Structure 1
Amino acid sequence: MLSVFLRYAAVGVANTALHWAVFFLFFSLGGLPQSWSNFLAFIGAATFSFFINARFTFKAASTRRRYLLFVGFMALMSYAFGYVGDVLEGPAVVVLALFSGFSLVVGFLYSRFVVFR
C-alpha cells in the first residue's frame, strides 16, 4: 500500500500545483470568493487527478460512476473549506494549505477504499 500512496502523492503534487494556480486566477483576477474559487479549481484539478490516478496509481477503469463518486465527495469538501475561509475571513493560502493536506490523506483513503476498491 505504501507504493500506491507514493504514486498517489506524486500525482498530488501536480494536482496541487494546478489547483492552486486555478484558485488564484479565480480569486485574485476573477474576484470570486474563496468558496467558489476553491470549488472551481478543485473541479479542474480533480478531473486531472482522477484520470491519472485511475490509470497509473490504482490501475483501474475510469468509469463515470467512479468519477462522480470521487469528484462529488471531494468537491463538497473543497467548497466547505472555502466557505469556512469566507466566513472566518481567513487568508486564502491557509485555506488552500489546509485543504491540500486534507485532500492528500482523506482523498487517498476515499479513493483506495471507496472509489477504486
Structure 2
Amino acid sequence: MLKIFSRYVSIGVINTLIHWGVFALLMHLLNTGQSVANLAGFCVAVTFSFFMNAKYTFKAEATGLRYIIFVSFMGFLAFATGKIADHFSIPGIATLIFFSGTSLVLGFIYSKFVVFK
C-alpha cells in the first residue's frame, strides 16, 4: 500500500502544480472568484491525474464511467472548498493548501476503494 501511495503522491505533485497554475491564472488575470478558479484548476489537473494514476498507480483501465465518478466527487470537493473560502474571505493560498492536502488524502482513499477497486 505504501508503494501505491508513493506513486499517487508523485503524480499528485505534478497535479498540484497544474492546479495551482490554472488557479492563479484565473484569479489574477481573469479576476474570477475562488470557487470558479479552484474548480477550473481542478478540472484541468484531474484529467492528467486520473489517466496517470489509472495507468501507473492502480494499473487499471481508465474508463469514462470511472472518470465521471472520480471527477464528480473531487469536483464537488474543489468547488465546495472554494465556495467556503469565498464566503469567509479566506486568502487564495490558504484555499489551495487546504484543498491540496484534503484532496490528496480523500482522493487516494476514494480512488483506491471506489474508482479503481
TM-score by length of 1: 0.99
Q: Which runs of 4+ in 1 moved over 6 A?
A: none
Aligned partner of 1:88 in structure 2 is 88
Matched to 1:58, the amino acid is F
1:71-99, Cα deviation, whole Å (9 max, x unpaired): 01000000000001100011000000000
Aligned partner of 2:10 in structure 1 is 10
Aligned length: 117
Matched to 1:85, the amino acid is A
How far the C-alpha of 1:7 sits from its partner, in A, is 0.1
Aligned partner of 1:70 in structure 2 is 70
Using the alignment, how far apart are the partners of 2:70 and 2:27 within structure 1?
Answer: 24
Query: What SS is found at the alignment partner of 2:32?
Result: coil
How far the C-alpha of 1:49 sits from its partner, in A, is 0.2
Give structure 1 stretches of 5+ with no counterpart: none
1:29-80, Cα deviation, whole Å (9 max, x unpaired): 1110000000000000001100000000000000001000100100000000
Aligned partner of 1:24 in structure 2 is 24
Give structure 2 stretches of 5+ with no counterpart: none
Aligned partner of 1:105 in structure 2 is 105
Aligned partner of 2:34 in structure 1 is 34
Q: Percent identity, aligned pairs only?
A: 49
Matched to 1:13, the amino acid is V
TM-score by length of 2: 0.99
Aligned partner of 1:56 in structure 2 is 56
Query: What SS is found at the alignment partner of 2:62?
Result: coil
How far the C-alpha of 1:111 sits from its partner, in A, is 0.2
